Chain A
Amino acid sequence: MIRRVGLIAGREFRAYAMTASFWVALALGPILMGAVVLLSGGHGAAPAQPSATLTLTQDRAGAVTAQFGQGFPLSADGRTRFVDLLQRDGTVHGAVRVVAEHPKSSLDAEALRRFALLMMLWMTLAGSLGMLLQAVVRERSNRALESLLAAARPAEIVFGKLVGVGAVSLLVVSTWLGSSAAMGALAPASGGAVAGLMQGFADPAVLLRAGAIYVLAFAFYGLATVAIGALARDNADAQNLARPMFATLLVVFFTALASTAGAHSLGWLVYVAPFTPFMLLIQPQPIGVELVSLDLLAAATVFAGWLAVRALRLACAGSPRVSRAARLKS
C-alpha cells in the first residue's frame, strides 16, 4: 500500500512542482519578505520590550489598587506575595486589590508574530486545498480516476493525492517560514518592527510547532476536500460543494482572531476540530488542553479519511454517465 501511495503522491507532487511558474511563485515570497525587511530597517519602531511596572493607586476612600504591567515577571501568587511585602515594609497601608493591567489594544510583538503565522498558514492552506480539489475533480470528471482505481485501492488514491499535494503545500510553508527565520536571523537587532517580528520565527520550537499544527490542519481539511472532490461530477459541482468548507475556513480564521481580541468566551472552540489548529496557533494553550484538542483533531481526521475513501468508492460505483464522446456520436 505504501508503495502505491508513494507513487501517486510523487506523480501529484511533480504535476505541481515541476513547473517554472511554481518555483517563480515560491521564490517571490522570500524575495518580497527580504525587501520589506531591507526597506523597514531602522525606520520602524523597535519591538516592545516587556516591562516590570507596578502602579499603585489610592482612591478617596483610601482603598489601594495594585496594577501590574503586562509581562510583569511574577505569577499571580508571586504578585500577591509581592504586595504583602509592600504592606509589611509600610509602603502601602490597608487592604490592597491586585489587578492585572488591561490588555493593550495594540498588538505586541508576540501577538503580531502569532497573527503573522496564522495568516501565513491559513493562506497556504486555503491555496493548497484548492489544488487538492482540482487534483481530484480533474480525474473524476474525465473518468481517468477509473483507470487509477483499476490499479490501486481507493484509500491508496486518497492518501497518495493528500501526501502529494501536502508535500507541495509543506514546501511552500517551509519556504515562507524558513526564509522568515533566516531574514530574522540576518536582520540587525535595530532592524525595526518587521525584523523583530521575523526574529521571532528564528526559534526552532516555534517553527516546529507551527509546522506540526499545519500538517494536522492540512490532513483534516485535505481529507474533507478529497471527499468533496470525489462527490463532484465536474468543476462547477466541486465549487458549489466546496463553498461551505471554504466559508467554514473563513469563519474559523476570524473566530481565532476574535478570541485574541477579548472574546475569551470562544476559548472552548479549541476542542472543535475545524477550529483547533488556528486556535492553537493564535493562542498557545496549557499542555493538557493542547494534547486533548489535538487528540480530538486526530480523531476527526480519521473520520474525514474514512469519508473520503467512501466517497471515492461511491464515485465509481454510481450509474455511469454517457461519456462526452458517446454523446457526440448519438
Chain B
Amino acid sequence: MDLKKRFRGGGGVDAVSMRVQAGSVTGFIGVNGAGKSTTLRCILGLMPPDAGEVLLFGAAASEASRRRIGFLPEERGLFPRERAREAIAFHARLKGLAKRDALRAADRLLERIGLGGRLSARIEELSKGNAQRVQILCALAHAPELLILDEPLSGLDPVAQSEVLSLFAEFRAGGGAILFSTHSMSAAETLCDRVVMLANGRTVFEGALADASARAPHGAVVVTADADGLLAAAAALKGEVQPMPGGMGEATRWRVTLPREITHPALMRALADRAVPIFAFEPIKADLEAAFWDLAAPQAQLRQTRRAA
C-alpha cells in the first residue's frame, strides 16, 4: 500500500511507493515540497504515516530494524567544539556499539578519509568539506545496512564532493544500500543505479537510471521566425512542436520533440530542405535532468498553478 501523510496546513505525500535494493544506490528526486523529507521521516520513524506501511529489511519497520539505518540530515548538527573522533563514536554508541568498538570504528574511518592525524581535532578546526565528511562518518560508523542521505553534497566544493561520492561508492561496494535525496541531477547520474521521482506527493517514476533517461524527450530547441517551415519539417519527421518563452526579435523559440530514432542532423536536414532560417539550434540531451523535467516538473507547475488559483 502506498505511503500517505497529510498535514493540517497542506502538503505531505499522497501516494509514495519505492523499493531500495541491497547493494544499490537509489536517487530520490523531486522539487522542493514534493514530499521527499516527509517520506524520509516516515521511513526513519520520526512521524507515523496516515496510511501505508514502511518495510525495512523485509519486515515491518521497528526500533531494532531502524538501528540498521544510518541517517545524514541535510543540515549538520555537530557541536563545533566536539572532537571528530568523539562525534563519530557518540553516534555509533547511540546506535548500540560498545565504547571501545565505537572508538575503533571512528579511528578506522577517519584514517580511511585521510584524517588519521587529526583524530582529536575539533569540528570547528576542520574545513567545511572535512566537517561534512566527519558528519557522514557519523552515519556510517555503526556499519549500517541502509544509508539514508538528505542532500549529502550541499555546500561542498567539487573536490569534497568527489571524496564524499567515493565514500558512498565504497559503502555500496561493501553491500550496503543507499537512498539519497538530492536536487543535483549530475550527482544522481554519477552515483545512482536506480531513481525514484516524486512530484506533488506522488511517485511519478521508479526504476533504473537508464530507463529514466530513456524516457527523457529527445529533440532540440530551435529559434526561427519561419513557424510554418518548422512545423512542416517536424511533421515530416513525426515530431511535435511547442512554442517556448524567450524569442529573439521576430524569431520564436520552439521545442521540437522527435521520435527516438530520428537524429539531430536529420532535423537540421529537414529544416535546410525547407530553407527555414535558423537563429539557434540547441539539442535536448536525453538525460536524467530531461526526464525529470518531463515527468516531475509539469506536476509541480500544475500544483503551483492550483495554489495561485
Q: Can you identify 22 A-B contacts, CB atoms within 8 angstroms?
A: A8-B94, A11-B79, A14-B86, A15-B82, A144-B75, A144-B76, A144-B78, A146-B46, A147-B72, A147-B91, A147-B139, A150-B45, A150-B71, A151-B67, A152-B94, A316-B41, A316-B46, A319-B11, A319-B12, A320-B41, A325-B151, A326-B183
Contacting residues of chain B (93-152) with chain A, CB-CB under 8 angstroms:
93-95, 138-139, 151
Q: How far is the CA of A116 from the CA of B86 in the complex (A)?
A: 40
Q: How far is the CA of A151 from the CA of B67 in the complex (A)?
A: 7
Please tell me if the beta carbons of A142 and B75 are within 8 angstroms of each other in the complex: yes
Could you give, for residues 5-20 of chain A, a 1 whenever the CB lies within 8 Å of some chain B CB and a 0 otherwise?
0011001001100110
Chain A residues whose C-beta falls within 8 Å of the C-beta of B33 in the assembled complex: 322
Closest chain B CB from A14 CB (angstroms)? 7
Chain B residues whose C-beta falls within 8 Å of the C-beta of A317 in the assembled complex: 41, 46-48
Could you give, for residues 110-145 of chain A, a 1 whenever the CB lies within 8 Å of some chain B CB and a 0 otherwise?
000000000000000000000000000001001111
Please tell me if the beta carbons of A318 and B7 are within 8 angstroms of each other in the complex: yes
Q: Pick the contact of A11 from B48, B69, B90, B155 — CB < 8 Å?
A: B90
Please tell me if the beta carbons of B82 and A322 are within 8 angstroms of each other in the complex: no
Q: How far is the CA of A327 from the CA of B32 in the complex (A)?
A: 8
Q: How far is the CA of A50 from the CA of B151 in the complex (A)?
A: 72
Beyond the given pairs A144-B78, A147-B71, A150-B46, 11 more chain A to chain B contacts, judged by CB atoms under 8 angstroms and listed by A's residue number, are: A142-B75, A151-B67, A151-B94, A151-B95, A317-B41, A318-B7, A319-B12, A320-B38, A323-B37, A326-B74, A327-B32
Q: Pick the contact of A7 from B74, B82, B93 — CB < 8 Å?
A: B93
Closest chain A CB from B233 CB (angstroms)? 37
Please tell me if the beta carbons of B155 and A325 are within 8 angstroms of each other in the complex: yes
Please tell me if the beta carbons of B66 and A150 are within 8 angstroms of each other in the complex: yes
Chain B residues whose C-beta falls within 8 Å of the C-beta of A145 in the assembled complex: 77
Closest chain A CB from B196 CB (angstroms)? 18
Chain A residues whose C-beta falls within 8 Å of the C-beta of B86 in the assembled complex: 14
The secondary structure that dominates the B interface is loop
Please tell me if the beta carbons of A7 and B90 are within 8 angstroms of each other in the complex: yes
Please tell me if the beta carbons of A4 and B94 are within 8 angstroms of each other in the complex: yes
Closest chain A CB from B175 CB (angstroms)? 21
Q: How far is the CA of A7 from the CA of B98 in the complex (A)?
A: 12
Closest chain B CB from A216 CB (angstroms)? 29
Chain A residues whose C-beta falls within 8 Å of the C-beta of B31 in the assembled complex: 330
Closest chain B CB from A123 CB (angstroms)? 25
B154 in contact (CB, < 8 A): yes
- Size class of the contact patch on chain B: 35 or more
B238 in contact (CB, < 8 A): no
- Size class of the contact patch on chain A: 20 to 34
Contacting residues of chain A (302-330) with chain B, CB-CB under 8 angstroms:
316-320, 322-327, 329-330
Contacting residues of chain B (22-39) with chain A, CB-CB under 8 angstroms:
31-33, 37-38
Please tell me if the beta carbons of B46 and A149 are within 8 angstroms of each other in the complex: yes
Q: How far is the CA of A330 from the CA of B300 in the complex (A)?
A: 13
Please tell me if the beta carbons of A326 and B9 are within 8 angstroms of each other in the complex: no
Interface residues of A (CB under 8 A from B): 4, 7-8, 11, 14-15, 18-19, 139, 142-152, 316-320, 322-327, 329-330
Tally A-B pairs: CB < 8 A.
95
Q: How far is the CA of A325 from the CA of B132 in the complex (A)?
A: 14
Nearest 4 pairs between A and B by C-beta?
A144-B77, A320-B37, A319-B7, A151-B94
Closest chain B CB from A148 CB (angstroms)? 8
Chain B residues whose C-beta falls within 8 Å of the C-beta of A151 in the assembled complex: 67, 71, 91, 94-95
Closest chain B CB from A33 CB (angstroms)? 29
Closest chain A CB from B283 CB (angstroms)? 26
B260 in contact (CB, < 8 A): no
Chain B residues whose C-beta falls within 8 Å of the C-beta of A11 in the assembled complex: 79, 82, 90
B44 in contact (CB, < 8 A): yes
Q: How far is the CA of A145 from the CA of B44 in the complex (A)?
A: 13
Chain A residues whose C-beta falls within 8 Å of the C-beta of B93 in the assembled complex: 7
Known: A150-B69, A322-B33, A323-B151. A18 touches B81 (CB 8 A): yes
Q: How far is the CA of A143 from the CA of B150 in the complex (A)?
A: 11
B73 in contact (CB, < 8 A): yes
Please tell me if the beta carbons of A329 and B183 are within 8 angstroms of each other in the complex: yes
Chain B residues whose C-beta falls within 8 Å of the C-beta of A150 in the assembled complex: 44-46, 66, 69, 71
Chain B residues whose C-beta falls within 8 Å of the C-beta of A320 in the assembled complex: 37-38, 41
Chain A residues whose C-beta falls within 8 Å of the C-beta of B38 in the assembled complex: 319-320
Please tell me if the beta carbons of B81 and A15 are within 8 angstroms of each other in the complex: yes
Chain A residues whose C-beta falls within 8 Å of the C-beta of B154 in the assembled complex: 325
Chain A residues whose C-beta falls within 8 Å of the C-beta of B47 in the assembled complex: 316-317
Contacting residues of chain B (1-58) with chain A, CB-CB under 8 angstroms:
7, 9-12, 31-33, 37-38, 41, 44-48
Chain A residues whose C-beta falls within 8 Å of the C-beta of B9 in the assembled complex: 319
Please tell me if the beta carbons of A142 and B77 are within 8 angstroms of each other in the complex: yes
Chain A residues whose C-beta falls within 8 Å of the C-beta of B91 in the assembled complex: 147, 151
Q: How far is the CA of A8 from the CA of B90 in the complex (A)?
A: 8
Q: How far is the CA of A284 from the CA of B71 in the complex (A)?
A: 52
Please tell me if the beta carbons of A19 and B74 are within 8 angstroms of each other in the complex: no
Chain B residues whose C-beta falls within 8 Å of the C-beta of A329 in the assembled complex: 32, 183
Please tell me if the beta carbons of B79 and A146 are within 8 angstroms of each other in the complex: no
Q: How far is the CA of A14 from the CA of B78 in the complex (A)?
A: 13
Q: How far is the CA of A294 from the CA of B13 in the complex (A)?
A: 48
Chain A residues whose C-beta falls within 8 Å of the C-beta of B138 in the assembled complex: 147
Q: How far is the CA of A149 from the CA of B12 in the complex (A)?
A: 20
